Amino acid sequence: MHQPIRYKTFTFFDIGESQPYFDDQLNEKVLNNVAERCYEPAIQHTMKLLKKFPEDFFVSFSISGSLLEQCRIFRPCLIPRLQELAAHPNVEILGETYYHSLSYFYNCDAFKKEVKKHRESMVLHFGKRPSIFKNTELAYDNWLNPELSKMGFKGVITEGASRILNNRPVNRLYGDVHDTRMKIFLRNRSLSNDIGYRFCDNRWNQFPLHPNKYLTWMENSGGEILNLCMDFEVLGERFSSNSGIFEFFDKTVAGIIRSPRMHFCLPSEALAELEIFDVLDVYDPITWTDQDNDLSVFRGNAMQAEALNKIYELGKDVSKTKSRKLIQTWLSLLASDHFYYMSTKGDGIMRNYFSPYRSPYDAYVYYMNILNDLELKVHQEDYFLSMINGIKMP
């Protein structure tokens, strides 16, 4: 569950004019629309399943800090509902980056601070301390686990990309090539996307997807652990309630519980029950995004590369100001969504679905204008502090 804090159509002429960066009106509208179509009914629906199958149904959630921040401002009634859901013993809360950023690849200190802040927020809001980590967009490489291990995490969830498996099964528990204490869950890409993206695709040769058909695929997929990971917005937002997605979800959950070959479990429980099948060597980063399962949809063109380099470079100067407002602004601009909007890869269908901007070029121009304005504010803050420090009292 994640919503970025979207920025405004910030033009060149707004630079230096003390204009706000973030579009509160748009953010409120998007959050309330998604809450009404998805969050509210899907949370209620999940609670019904948890109460109906108290011994058998288990589910885990990853909730970004930026979503919770917007809930507090624009839809505070959603937080108690999330708390009720998270309080159920059959629900596990996962760790992630607070702002849903790519900081792991650009600034290790910022990454660790984000993860720590997210964990503290989960404890504060839900009373649960995450022990399993899900990086932004399931991003992963060999150097992630040592950092997570130092922070007390026991496992990580990433994408079951074929290029890291080398014909090994996806439905197994893996270990880190450098630290076998850290265990790796792999998302079953095919079965996850059958629901997450193809459920309403009438061009798909398996359309329509019926629960019995899907359950057969699950039972025949082999291995020991099947990880289905998808956006919560699948329930009611990406696929409307009229599509039959909730009924499909109900029947599939019931079918898994009835199956003699499958049962639900939480990730932390699976760690205690399963042995490592093999180790994974992931030299090049993987993600769950698009067909290439890499970072190219976030940093594959010159616009994205320039924007990413500038925002993380600017972070050094922002932190020196010790201005809570400037630091908070900088952090909110780290969300991976901002760079996704700048992607020119593929046909752009999914980008256009998520992006509030007319084109990747508009997203880039507005973002860079904001960074230039933020840079001015940082320099003004530095000048002000130098003046204060330079004053000598008699």
Taking the CA atoms of residue 357, residue 360, residue 361 and residue 362 in that order, the dihedral angle to the nearest 10 degrees is: 10
Amino acid at the residue 119: R
Compute φ and ψ for 286, nearest 5 degrees. -120, 155
96, 114, 137, 233: the catalytic one is 137
Rg (CA), the chain: 22
The residues, ordered by sequence, that sit 6+ positions from 103 with a Cβ below 8 Å of its Cβ are 97, 110, 111, 114, 312, 334
The whole-angstrom separation of Cα 189 and Cα 23 is 34
Long-range contacts of 210-214 (CB under 8 A, 24+ apart): 210/248, 211/248, 211/251, 211/252, 211/255, 212/255, 214/248, 214/252
- CA geometry: angle 363, 364, 365, nearest 5 deg: 95
Of 314, 301, 285, which Cα lies nearest the Cα of 351?
Answer: 301
- CA geometry: angle 98, 50, 80, nearest 5 deg: 45
Q: Taking a C-beta distance cutoff of 8 angstroms, is the pair 209, 170 a contact?
A: no
Structure tokens at 228: 């289905």
Q: Give kind and range of the element (H or E) at residue 186.
A: strand 183-187
* Residue 134, phi-psi category: left (phi > 0), alpha (psi -120 to 50), beta (remainder): beta
Q: Taking a C-beta distance cutoff of 8 angstroms, is the pair 135, 129 a contact?
A: no
Q: Is 219 a catalytic residue?
A: no
The residues annotated with a catalytic role in the active site are 137
